[in-house]
Amino acid sequence: MDSSALSRIYQQYFEEALLRQEDGRTYLFQKNAELGAVYRVTTYSGIEIVYSDLHFGRPRPIAFSASGQMIELQFTLAGERHAVVSGRDYSLPDGHGAFVFLQDFEVHFHTPAQGPYVTFALGIPVKLFHYAIRQLAAGRSKNLEFRRMMEGQTLRSYMFRIDSYMLAMIHALIHDLKGRDTSPLLLEASALELLNRLLLQVFGLNPLPEGLSREDVRKLHHAREVLESRLAEPPSLLALSRIIGLNDFKLKKGFKACFGSQYSNTCGKSD
């Protein structure tokens, strides 16, 4: 699927959801503008950047179907994303993200009964995904080709927690997306940076440091999330080691190998 076909899928969804374009980037619901707004930009390479800031007083189901292939990098910032995709339940809780792969699908969105519903998404052209994977995965790129990953399925997803660094990148993108004067080139650069980070992290494409397994690296990412959530009172090296289930030697060595020196002095005093 080329980028214009992906854009048509998004445009079809906006039309069926009864969203009207208010200005160059802002869309409002035709019959209920007080629900909030949706912001959208299509970049030069065909990335769809979409931010929804909505508040529901009652459920508002939306049905939508499309043919072809689609990849979306989704983030739920408030509420819960819930849908039935070709008969299969799919949910993305608050504070989580996912790479979602779809083909020839029918989806029924179930919005919250009430309260905020805030989401952010990057629609990724399949050709761009394949190009990025070839650059990052070297000999393993064939295992991450769209058709091979799907194996005839309609939906496949890879979920992850949103860490503080991702959240900062997302909020910066949202700020620029809502600013009418922000260059689409800068938006695309930020979107590509976020995509690159998530491809490396979700699909384990970073080279493994010597002496560490992929499970060790997963635990190190968990350790970084723990530290980032406790910057005011960081745990000691030994306490952090116990929290994530990795010995303190591997923890110290792994942090330097995976994240450089930026966390070298972050841990609190030893127990």
* Residue 55 near residue 28, CB atoms below 8 Å: no
Q: Taking 80 as the threshold, does the pLDDT of residue 153 lie above it? A: yes
Amino acid at 51: Y
Q: What is the mean pLDDT of residues 150-162?
A: 92
Residue 19 CA to residue 13 CA, distance in Å, equals: 9
The pairing of strands 115-124 and 155-161 is unpaired
Which residues pair with residue 98 across a beta bridge?
Answer: 74, 159
Task: Please state, for a pLDDT cut of 70, what percent of the chain lies above it.
Answer: 93
Nearest to 50 by CA among 66, 70, 68: 70
Q: What is the mean pLDDT of residues 167-174?
A: 96
pLDDT band per the 50, 70, 90 thresholds, residue 270: very low
- How many CA within 13 A on the CB side of residue 138? 4
Q: Taking 90 as the threshold, does the pLDDT of residue 38 lie above it? A: yes
* Residue 219 near residue 240, CB atoms below 8 Å: no
Q: What is the mean pLDDT of residues 47-69?
A: 89
Q: Taking 70 as the threshold, does the pLDDT of residue 268 lie above it? A: no
Element (H, E) at 53: strand 48-56
Residue ranges of E strands in 125-176:
155-161
Per-residue pLDDT reduced to its tens digit, 234-251: 888 888 888 888 888 888
pTM: predicted TM-score of the whole model, two decimal places: 0.81
Report which of residues 232 and 119 the model is more confident about. 119
Comparing 22-31, 70-79, 194-203, 254-263, the range with the smallest average pLDDT is 254-263
From residue 46, give the alpha-carbon distance in Å to each of 22, 49, 127, 188, 199: 21, 9, 10, 9, 18
**pLDDT at position 140, please?**
67
Q: Taking 50 as the threshold, does the pLDDT of residue 164 lie above it? A: yes
Residue 43 CA to residue 58 CA, distance in Å, equals: 34
Report which of residues 191 and 31 the model is more confident about. 191
Q: Taking 70 as the threshold, does the pLDDT of residue 197 lie above it? A: yes
**pLDDT at position 102, please?**
96
Residue 73 CA to residue 170 CA, distance in Å, equals: 12
**pLDDT at position 139, please?**
67
Give the chain's mean pLDDT.
87
Q: Taking 80 as the threshold, does the pLDDT of residue 49 lie above it? A: yes
Q: Which of 79-83, 169-173, 255-259 has the highest mean pLDDT?
A: 169-173
**pLDDT at position 90, please?**
95
Q: Taking 70 as the threshold, does the pLDDT of residue 260 lie above it? A: no
Classify 225 as helix, strand or coil: helix
Element (H, E) at 54: strand 48-56
> Residue 154 burial (CB < 10 Å; 0-12/13-18/19+)?
middle
